[in-house]
């Protein structure tokens, strides 16, 4: 009877050891989680280089008896008619610059009344939706004095608008697609 008991004890011990080995193997097995918290392959490869066409538009805004939006501003006309810009009612384009930007590479856009520095931080591609672009934007007056430094997200093909403080009447629109 002692031999039967010893055989069962040995079998149980072997089962526990096998279970422990399985737990250790699973616990230390490589996973597909990435260090940045996103799902994906653990092959260490960088994501493909992202490039987008980005535009910066400089708009002169004034208050007149005959409200109007210049035809070349049709891509931002709807936003210019919102309450945020109600101090002005006439908008003309003073400059437009377009460049191809790569992810994490800042580019400077020269404008008639200042400069804009734009950098694509990341591009998110949600399922069945337009890509969402996170941008670092720095705006400066012609004198070189910075008046805005921000990190903002916008849908690809849409624009972010920034108005200068005071009575400058200058609006800067930034967008990428």
| More confident of the two residues 42 and 83 | 83
- Separation of alpha carbons 52 and 103, rounded Å: 8
- How do residues 44-90 score in pLDDT, each as one tens digit? 444 568 899 999 999 999 999 999 999 999 999 999 999 999 999 99
Of 8-12, 18-22, 30-34, where does mean pLDDT reach its minimum?
A: 30-34
What confidence tier does 6 reach under pLDDT thresholds 50, 70, 90? Answer: low
Q: Is residue 111 predicted with pLDDT exceeding 60?
A: yes
pTM of the model: 0.73
- Separation of alpha carbons 35 and 84, rounded Å: 41
| More confident of the two residues 171 and 40 | 171
């Amino acid at each position: 009877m002692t031999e039967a008991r010893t055989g069962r004890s040995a079998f149980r011990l072997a089962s526990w050891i096998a279970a422990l080995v399985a737990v250790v193997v699973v616990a230390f097995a490589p996973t597909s989680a990435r260090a940045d918290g996103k799902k994906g392959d653990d092959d260490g490869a960088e994501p493909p280089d992202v490039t987008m066409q980005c535009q910066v538009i400089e708009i002169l805004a004034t208050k007149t008896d005959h409200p109007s939006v210049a035809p070349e501003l049709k891509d931002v006309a709807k936003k210019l008619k919102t309450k945020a810009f109600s101090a002005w009612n006439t908008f003309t384009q003073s400059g437009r610059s377009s460049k191809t930007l790569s992810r994490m590479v800042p580019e400077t856009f020269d404008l008639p009344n200042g400069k804009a520095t734009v950098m694509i931080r990341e591009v998110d591609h949600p399922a069945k939706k337009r890509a969402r672009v996170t941008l670092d934007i720095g705006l400066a007056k012609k004198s070189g004095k910075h008046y805005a430094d921000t990190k903002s997200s916008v849908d690809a093909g849409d624009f972010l608008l920034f108005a200068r403080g005071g009575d400058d009447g200058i609006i800067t629109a930034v967008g990428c697609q």
